[in-house]
Amino acid sequence: MKAFIIDSYGKKTEGRIGSMPVPDIRPDEVLVQIHAAGVNLLDSKIRNGEFKLILPYQLPLVLGHDVAGVVVKTGPQVRQFKPGDEVYARSDDLRIGAFAELIAIKEDSLALKPKTLSMEEAASIPLVGLTAWQALIEQANLKKGQKVFIQAGSGGVGTFAIQLAKHIGATVATTTSTANIDLVKSLGVDIVIDYKKDDFEKILRDYDVVLNSQDGKTLDKSLQILKAGGKLISISGPPDIDFAKKIGAPWFVQFIMRLLSSGVKRKAMRRHIDYSFLFMRAHGAQLREIAALIDSGAIRPVVDKIFPFEATGEAMAYVEKGRAKGKVVIRIR
């Protein structure tokens, strides 16, 4: 099968379109013919080697986490899916490979594609949708009437998280550039802060939840706007000891992560704030709930650009610039 392959780790690594064996499926897996794949900054970080300690992939490696396509084969233990089903998923850790013609995915990680979406739109959803769901619903337990600050509202996670928080009934604040103010307002944001003109920590007060996706300085500023008992959830780090234990990391990795997060943990504790790191995971049942919200009209996909398969490298470079409005997708079939 055709695939976008990297042969070594590094920021200067340029992937190539080449040939890879069709994946073997395990008894609890489904073989999916990929029609479209979403592009995420996570793909570039894995290529750069940033996750080698916790995700020991073997090279050559096919990148890509977001999948939309059609089931072509099922393992003997699979009961929920059959050939011909249109599905979408965030591929499993250590079994990624969405930038290809075929992929093997666990049954529990898969869901039927939202009926109202095209394959390209569906491929834009899984990673950002699951990230927002696991941050706001699982970890934050966000409630109607609470206040949440979602950074970078025009990005992939931001555009989805804003809509999910508004569906819950929360008051939502976000940061964006002047050019994207109308976009985030169209998603229902209550308070928009132009980060080029204003400092959010001087405007926002007594928030219940912050979803952090930016750098360490922004993380520190976010502590200032949370009330006692508030929750600071970061998807950009630093990873903490709870995350290390959850993934079964060896003792030395747990020690490193404890050190990395010790500073923000101390600052959070002094303010009686709960800090946690989120590295989202594949989850088919949550994708089914997300599909229902999309088909009901509560949430809509925001797709910036669709690239042809041959331009996968260009699509990744575009995402790395950090200027995409919503998601970037590769059309594979």
Q: Provide the domain limits for residue 95.
A: 2-125+301-331
Asked, for residue 255, whether it belongs to a domain, the answer is yes
Give 233's strand partners.
211, 276
Asked, for residue 49, whether it belongs to a domain, the answer is yes
* Shared domain check, 250 and 171: yes
Residues with Cβ within 8 Å of residue 217, at least 6 apart in sequence: none
* Shared domain check, 75 and 137: no
* Shared domain check, 121 and 184: no
* Shared domain check, 268 and 145: yes
Asked, for residue 294, whether it belongs to a domain, the answer is no
Asked, for residue 208, whether it belongs to a domain, the answer is yes
pLDDT bracket for residue 120 (50, 70, 90): very high
Measured between alpha carbons, how far is 10 from 220 in angstroms, rounded to an integer? 29
Q: What is the pLDDT, as a whole number, of residue 170?
A: 98
Name the residue type at position 232. Answer: L
Q: Which two tokens stand for residue 306?
A: 């669709």
Q: Which two tokens stand for residue 98?
A: 């969405």
Asked, for residue 289, whether it belongs to a domain, the answer is no
Domain harbouring 8, CATH code: 3.90.180.10
Mean pLDDT of 7-20: 95
* DSSP assignment string, 82-122: -TT-EEEEEPPTTS---SBSEEEEEGGGEEEPPTTS-HHHH
Q: Is pLDDT at 246 greater than 90 in this prediction?
A: no
Asked, for residue 295, whether it belongs to a domain, the answer is no
Of 241, 262, 277, the residue that ends a domain is: 277
* Shared domain check, 12 and 120: yes
* Shared domain check, 134 and 241: yes
* Shared domain check, 268 and 155: yes
* Shared domain check, 184 and 91: no
* Shared domain check, 133 and 109: no
- Measured at the alpha carbon of residue 287, what is the angle toward residues 234 and 247, in degrees to the nearest 5? 45
* Shared domain check, 162 and 52: no
Asked, for residue 53, whether it belongs to a domain, the answer is yes
**What is the gyration radius of the CA atoms in the chain, in angstroms?**
19
pLDDT bracket for residue 331 (50, 70, 90): very high
Instruction: Find out whether 32 and 69 touch, Cβ atoms under 8 Å.
Output: yes
* Shared domain check, 265 and 218: yes
Residues making up the chain, counted from first to last: 333
pLDDT > 70 fraction of the chain, expressed in percent and rounded: 100
* Shared domain check, 43 and 170: no
Instruction: Find out whether 2 and 22 touch, Cβ atoms under 8 Å.
Output: no
Mean pLDDT of 190-204: 97
Instruction: Find out whether 37 and 123 touch, Cβ atoms under 8 Å.
Output: yes
Measured between alpha carbons, how far is 71 from 102 in angstroms, rounded to an integer? 10
Asked, for residue 185, whether it belongs to a domain, the answer is yes
Say whether pTM exceeds 0.75. yes
Number of structural domains, the chain? 2
Helix/strand/coil for 273: coil
Measured between alpha carbons, how far is 95 from 91 in angstroms, rounded to an integer? 7
Q: Which two tokens stand for residue 46?
A: 């894995």
> In the chain, helix, strand, coil percent, each to 5?
35, 25, 40
Instruction: Find out whether 132 and 151 touch, Cβ atoms under 8 Å.
Output: no
Domain harbouring 154, CATH code: 3.40.50.720
* DSSP assignment string, 22-58: PPPPPTTEEEEEEEEEEE-HHHHHHHHTTTTTTS-PP
Mean pLDDT of 296-317: 98
